[in-house]
Chain A
């Protein structure tokens, strides 16, 4: 087969159909990584046949968090004026085609202000200072899931961490990588590496599975990039998912209780890309009153893959449906998952089925347990 395939538009499209759930990567005993090849092909395709809308989108929006924040403004106004809720209540959204409705359902309640501008650059530890850690605030976390990352920083502080969260942080690079814009991801990587080099931190922590998986791969991304190769490797070895970091330190047991039944969904970018699956479960089991229920096929993809609900709606929804069957039978009040993409997708699933279930980041439940103990 070598040398026989030609990069046709059909082939490129097949590569975009890949959800990059990495299941093929981990199962192949021969060591072929089809998901990596799919991303590689997207990159090659972009070199040969660049798509017109990508440059303005990625180069215009992603390098500068301020521009992304500006882009979110219309949505925030809708929210502020109560129009989103009104539209849902009056039933206007029902007039939308299913796909648009699903896209609307994806978006959580948008925070008043992006966390990036609210979060102090240095959060002191509560009690004795044990670690100085950097916090990598992802775009989706800042713009859409501000409460979660605020909780992450609180939990870190409570566990003896001084948390440094530089405001100049840029996108981790995954969205451009996913769309074949590798050069741009390289630029972002260099920026972030330089930024955190100056901070002198013990670890670089993120609460976004996707950011984590990308940051940990900076070493590979810049492997042939002269001096940067070593700097990237040094950066990457410091990166920890929040649950991973907490599992490595003697974590403070919360005194408060959270009375709820909780199930956990493994994000592809955490379980397969980073090999992290036990740690978030252990965190949940730390909480008194919490009943943890394991769902079937917890590590199966939810169908989010970032933007597949938009680009490949039908496939995305069928994957989601399978996932929701497994979620629903647990009878859980919370489904926890440390990935903004998964959370948005699972929210669509919950809303489609009209379930009384909340989608949360595991760290929020831990944070809640600490806070309940304070009262």
Chain B
């Protein structure tokens, strides 16, 4: 545990103001966790308002060797923003201004602490569209989304956060400010440092401003719900829809336990007892095309064994469906004190096999595991429910997690589709990427942050000496 010298605290207060350096135990507690079960107290919470302030904070930290763990709204699911190293929890939520919406170039510039939904609302008001939509969208920040390269249901059609990042302003470990990228769409001048920071989880620099690409807002959207008595049928429907040349904006899947859990707490009228649900959505410029796509998807679903297909006929019916999907995480939290939400990705065709094996793992280790996720792109969220206070159970959880990752890799997939590595997936990283990749990535880290003060111990386990 690093202690911060009183002189450093004083210096930090001079930079960001007294009210924005928190050291009271109850304040530190509030910054000791994210959306996983992991927790660790920082030594101080620092809340800068500008890039210059962030730079000054890092100069102090660099000089004194104080760890700096950047964080937005702590909605992360890999414990990437939990300050295990102690030191400074650098909260960027006060940097919450949308700096520019450039309609001519179709870009937006926002400070890192802007809530992603606020950015979306602002650009949509001008007929523009920022598609990435992690389920935490009303809570999570654009800076955090970039740092963890967040995904979401719509990414099937529109791509992930990183696909929209054109430029960044970041503060480096020693306090220098780096501007990368820009509004020019084509840019091959030098290495693509912008994309290096995407998904870097605060280990290479502190992202303070984000420049994103926008597209024009789809005017129409329609959603349908397909109910299945057999998971394989759901999976076959997904493949059939995509092979038919339809690119829906989302294709979400929920298994039986997920349906049960949501229904138990939300009472949305979901079909409890069904083996799986698909949420199918199409959007676009033209109402007829959207209608046709939804009808075609509904027909394919029926042909492939859906026992019931309902097309949402109103905006409120559609909202209900999504309210259910977005409430999966919190609803699960009612069932057990802790949940471990993974986000493995497998090739689409392997979804039924992956779900089957995950269920077997649940039986083997006697743990409730629910599975839902983005069926269209093979990104699944197996969630293990448990009680962390039970040591014996926790051991079984760890074994189950290892087994799930094993399944992902065996089926030709990967550990994390959209949550990131943080600390939770570290033990499995080398197995997934191989030693050469790990070694090269470590060298990148050493080059950018030689003293290892930026989010130390994240992504890669700390090496001797660091």
Q: Which residues of A contact B (CB under 8 A)?
A: 1, 4-6, 8, 10-11, 14, 28-31
Q: Does B39 contact A (CB under 8 A)?
A: yes
14 contacts between A and B (CB under 8 A): A1-B39, A5-B29, A6-B26, A8-B26, A10-B27, A28-B330, A29-B266, A29-B330, A29-B331, A29-B333, A29-B334, A30-B330, A30-B333, A31-B334
Contacts beyond the supplied A8-B26, A28-B330, A29-B334: 5 A-B pairs with Cβ under 8 Å: A1-B33, A10-B24, A10-B27, A29-B327, A29-B333
Q: Which residues of B contact A (CB under 8 A)?
A: 24-27, 29, 32-33, 39, 265-266, 327, 330-331, 333-334
Task: Provide the bound-state CA to CA distance between A16 and B26, in Å.
Answer: 15
Contacts of A8 on B, CB cut-off 8 Å? 24-26
Closest 9 pairs between A and B when the two form their complex, measured CB to CB: A29-B330, A11-B26, A30-B333, A10-B24, A30-B330, A29-B327, A5-B26, A30-B334, A1-B29
- How distant is A296 from chain B, measured CB to nearest CB, in Å? 13
Contact of A14 among B26, B32, B330 (CB under 8 A): B26
Contacts of A5 on B, CB cut-off 8 Å? 25-26, 29
Specify the chain A residue showing the minimal Cβ separation from B32.
A1
- How distant is B381 from chain A, measured CB to nearest CB, in Å? 17
Contacts of B24 on A, CB cut-off 8 Å? 8, 10-11
Task: Provide the bound-state CA to CA distance between A190 and B25, in Å.
Answer: 39
Contacts of A31 on B, CB cut-off 8 Å? 334
Contacts of B33 on A, CB cut-off 8 Å? 1
Contact yes or no, A6 B331, CB < 8 A: no
Contact of A10 among B26, B39, B266, B331 (CB under 8 A): B26
Contact yes or no, A6 B334, CB < 8 A: no
Q: Which of A4, A28, A29, A30 has the most CB of B within 10 A?
A: A29
Contacts of B266 on A, CB cut-off 8 Å? 29
Task: Provide the bound-state CA to CA distance between A31 and B330, in Å.
Answer: 9
Q: Is the interface of A mostly helix, strand, loop or mixed?
A: loop
Specify the chain B residue showing the minimal Cβ separation from A30.
B333
Task: Provide the bound-state CA to CA distance between A6 and B24, in Å.
Answer: 10
Task: Provide the bound-state CA to CA distance between A10 and B25, in Å.
Answer: 10
Contacts of B39 on A, CB cut-off 8 Å? 1
Specify the chain A residue showing the minimal Cβ separation from B323.
A29
Q: Which of A5, A14, A28, A30 has the most CB of B within 10 A?
A: A30
Specify the chain A residue showing the minimal Cβ separation from B328.
A29
- How distant is B81 from chain A, measured CB to nearest CB, in Å? 16
Q: Is the interface of B mostly helix, strand, loop or mixed?
A: helix
Task: Provide the bound-state CA to CA distance between A14 and B30, in Å.
Answer: 12
Specify the chain A residue showing the minimal Cβ separation from B389.
A2
Q: Assess A6 versus B265: contact at CB under 8 Å? Given A29-B327, A29-B334.
A: no
Task: Provide the bound-state CA to CA distance between A25 and B144, in Å.
Answer: 26
Task: Provide the bound-state CA to CA distance between A6 and B28, in Å.
Answer: 12
Task: Provide the bound-state CA to CA distance between A8 and B28, in Å.
Answer: 13
Task: Provide the bound-state CA to CA distance between A14 and B26, in Å.
Answer: 10
Specify the chain A residue showing the minimal Cβ separation from B26.
A11
Contact yes or no, B330 A6, CB < 8 A: no
Contacts of B27 on A, CB cut-off 8 Å? 10
Task: Provide the bound-state CA to CA distance between A130 and B297, in Å.
Answer: 58
Specify the chain A residue showing the minimal Cβ separation from B27.
A10
Specify the chain A residue showing the minimal Cβ separation from B138.
A27
Task: Provide the bound-state CA to CA distance between A8 and B334, in Å.
Answer: 30
- How distant is A77 from chain B, measured CB to nearest CB, in Å? 42
Specify the chain B residue showing the minimal Cβ separation from A14.
B26
- How distant is B235 from chain A, measured CB to nearest CB, in Å? 28
- How distant is B99 from chain A, measured CB to nearest CB, in Å? 22
Task: Provide the bound-state CA to CA distance between A182 and B334, in Å.
Answer: 29
Contacts of B334 on A, CB cut-off 8 Å? 29-31
Task: Provide the bound-state CA to CA distance between A98 and B381, in Å.
Answer: 54
Q: Which of B24, B265, B331 has the most CB of A within 10 A?
A: B24
- How distant is A229 from chain B, measured CB to nearest CB, in Å? 27
Task: Provide the bound-state CA to CA distance between A11 and B28, in Å.
Answer: 12
Task: Provide the bound-state CA to CA distance between A5 and B334, in Å.
Answer: 23
Task: Provide the bound-state CA to CA distance between A360 and B29, in Å.
Answer: 43
Task: Provide the bound-state CA to CA distance between A1 and B327, in Å.
Answer: 24
Specify the chain B residue showing the minimal Cβ separation from A6.
B25
Contacts of A4 on B, CB cut-off 8 Å? 25, 29
Contact yes or no, A29 B25, CB < 8 A: no
Contacts of A10 on B, CB cut-off 8 Å? 24, 26-27
- How distant is A344 from chain B, measured CB to nearest CB, in Å? 29
Task: Provide the bound-state CA to CA distance between A1 and B25, in Å.
Answer: 11
Contacts of A6 on B, CB cut-off 8 Å? 25-26
Specify the chain B residue showing the minimal Cβ separation from A10.
B24
Specify the chain A residue showing the minimal Cβ separation from B265.
A29
Task: Provide the bound-state CA to CA distance between A316 and B331, in Å.
Answer: 33
Specify the chain A residue showing the minimal Cβ separation from B333.
A30
Task: Provide the bound-state CA to CA distance between A4 and B41, in Å.
Answer: 10
- How distant is A72 from chain B, measured CB to nearest CB, in Å? 38
Contacts of B331 on A, CB cut-off 8 Å? 29
Task: Provide the bound-state CA to CA distance between A30 and B331, in Å.
Answer: 6
- How distant is A5 from chain B, measured CB to nearest CB, in Å? 5
Specify the chain A residue showing the minimal Cβ separation from B334.
A30
Contacts of A11 on B, CB cut-off 8 Å? 24, 26
Specify the chain A residue showing the minimal Cβ separation from B332.
A30
Task: Provide the bound-state CA to CA distance between A29 and B264, in Å.
Answer: 11
Task: Provide the bound-state CA to CA distance between A31 and B331, in Å.
Answer: 9
Task: Provide the bound-state CA to CA distance between A1 and B28, in Å.
Answer: 11
Task: Provide the bound-state CA to CA distance between A211 and B333, in Å.
Answer: 34
Task: Provide the bound-state CA to CA distance between A28 and B39, in Å.
Answer: 21
- How distant is B389 from chain A, measured CB to nearest CB, in Å? 9
Task: Provide the bound-state CA to CA distance between A28 and B29, in Å.
Answer: 20
Contacts of B327 on A, CB cut-off 8 Å? 29
- How distant is B225 from chain A, measured CB to nearest CB, in Å? 20
Task: Provide the bound-state CA to CA distance between A4 and B265, in Å.
Answer: 30
Contacts of B25 on A, CB cut-off 8 Å? 4-6, 8
Contacts of A30 on B, CB cut-off 8 Å? 330, 333-334
Specify the chain B residue showing the minimal Cβ separation from A15.
B26
- How distant is B77 from chain A, measured CB to nearest CB, in Å? 16
Q: Which of B26, B32, B266 has the most CB of A within 10 A?
A: B26
Task: Provide the bound-state CA to CA distance between A29 and B328, in Å.
Answer: 10
Task: Provide the bound-state CA to CA distance between A97 and B86, in Å.
Answer: 44
